[in-house]
Amino acid sequence: MVKKKRDKLRVALGGIAALLCSGVIASQASAATLDVVRERGHLQCGVTTGFAGFSAPDDKGEWRGLDIDLCRAVAAATLGDADKYKAVPLNSQQRFTALNSGEIDVLARNTSVTQQRDTAVGAIHAGINFYDGQGFLVLRSLGVQSAKELDGATICLQTGTSNENTLADWARANNISYKPVVIEQFNEVVNAFAAGRCDVFSTDASGLASIRISRLQDPDAYEVLPEIISKEPLGPFVRQGDDAWLNIVKWTLQAMLNAEELGVTSTNVDEMRNSNDPNIRRMLGVTPGLGSNLGLDDEWAYRIIKEVGNYGESFERNVGMASPLKIKRGLNALWTDGGLMYPLPLR
């Protein structure tokens, strides 16, 4: 009896050792991400803890936003169904650890691309889905017209954001002194600002628009100052070392941008399959080839557009003039409309 148990234990331990040696449980993060996602049956998508317009649960608990649309688009491309994703809420500090550990497959969360992040933290960006810049939110009653008047102000920031260093650089360059109040949890930093513990909230302008509309009781009592002190190109990140997965996320975003440029929407995509335009035919898989380049089937982009929509549709629905945030396309317009969105050729 005892021997039998001991044998069983030996077999089990042997199995674990074999798994460790083969690396199967040593690091899920080192396996091919597409295989891991297919095996699991859903995409683990790292998002914010709740940032209206970009990634936040609605009244019914359904996650919505521009970044959520990217999660959905990757799920549609890889798993054939935009709903096959799980939003993994992460605060600013947690995001890269979650990516490196394999807890998430993609980070789709208002994350600024910087040289440091693209090299030294094990992450790499897969494109830009929102061009932004850092700004300041203040109470109107403070009577401040310009950021240059902020000398001596108390400024709320969130831990783990690029905003901390950017503000420090700007203040040094402009000879402005300020007192930072740096808090790790998003809710707490917003509450501190709303309670008047700081004069100013500083983060990406999109974030300020979101906080103002969705987190403050009287949005009209606040204003965003005119100065934008940095470039904050926001985009999805993946782990370094899996080029095939990087390509999938990169070209998912590019498919949404190309669809807008080519006039293909979630409502006309079926009839667009009959288009004579070779670019549209390739994108929708009528002319095959692009899917297999990514290790996917040829309807990958068709499903993204059908289930999620093109970039312009996603922008308008979540953060644009049809949304509570009312953000203008500005830098995020297509290059043909004076913006920076320049879809890479799908050929």
Q: State which residue has the least CB distance to ligand GSH.
A: 49
Which of 191, 189, 190, 184 has the alpha carbon at shortest distance from 94?
184
**Min CB(147)–ligand GSH separation in Å:** 17
- Figure out which of the listed residues 28, 30, 49, 279 binds ligand GSH, where binding follows CB under 6 A: 49
Tell me if 204 contacts ligand GSH by CB under 6 A. Answer: yes
**Nearer to ligand GSH among residue 162 and residue 258 (C-beta):** 162
**CA–CA gap between residue 106 and residue 37 (Å, rounded):** 11
Q: Which stretch binds ligand GSH (CB under 6 A): 15-23, 58-66, 161-169, 267-275?
A: 161-169
**Min CB(48)–ligand GSH separation in Å:** 4
**Nearer to ligand GSH among residue 56 and residue 82 (C-beta):** 56
**CA–CA gap between residue 298 and residue 308 (Å, rounded):** 17
**Min CB(294)–ligand GSH separation in Å:** 27
* Residues between 233 and 262 with contacts to ligand GSH, criterion CB under 6 A: 234
**Nearer to ligand GSH among residue 78 and residue 166 (C-beta):** 166
**Min CB(26)–ligand GSH separation in Å:** 30
**Min CB(212)–ligand GSH separation in Å:** 12
Residue 229 token pair: 């002190």
Tell me if 214 contacts ligand GSH by CB under 6 A. Answer: no
- Figure out which of the listed residues 46, 207, 236, 320 binds ligand GSH, where binding follows CB under 6 A: 207
**Nearer to ligand GSH among residue 53 and residue 309 (C-beta):** 53
Q: Which residues contact 168 (CB under 8 A, 6 or more apart)?
A: none
Residue type, 172: R
**Helix and strand tally (H, E) in the chain?**
14, 14
CA distances (Å), origin 250, targets 74, 317, 344:
10, 22, 10
**Nearer to ligand GSH among residue 44 and residue 91 (C-beta):** 91
How does DSSP assign 306-331, residue by residue? HHT--HHHHHHHHTSTTSTT----GG
Indicate the angle between helix axes 66-79 and 243-261, nearest 10 degrees.
Answer: 110
The residue ranges of DSSP E strands in the chain, in sequence order, are 43-47, 56-57, 63-64, 85-89, 106-107, 123-125, 130-132, 134-139, 154-158, 179-183, 200-204, 222-224, 232-234, 237-239
**Nearer to ligand GSH among residue 240 and residue 287 (C-beta):** 240
In this structure, are strands 56-57 and 130-132 parallel, antiparallel, or unpaired?
unpaired
Tell me if 91 contacts ligand GSH by CB under 6 A. Answer: yes
**Min CB(344)–ligand GSH separation in Å:** 23
- Which residues of the chain form contacts with ligand GSH (CB under 6 A)? 48-49, 51, 91-92, 110-112, 158, 161-163, 186, 203-204, 207, 232, 234
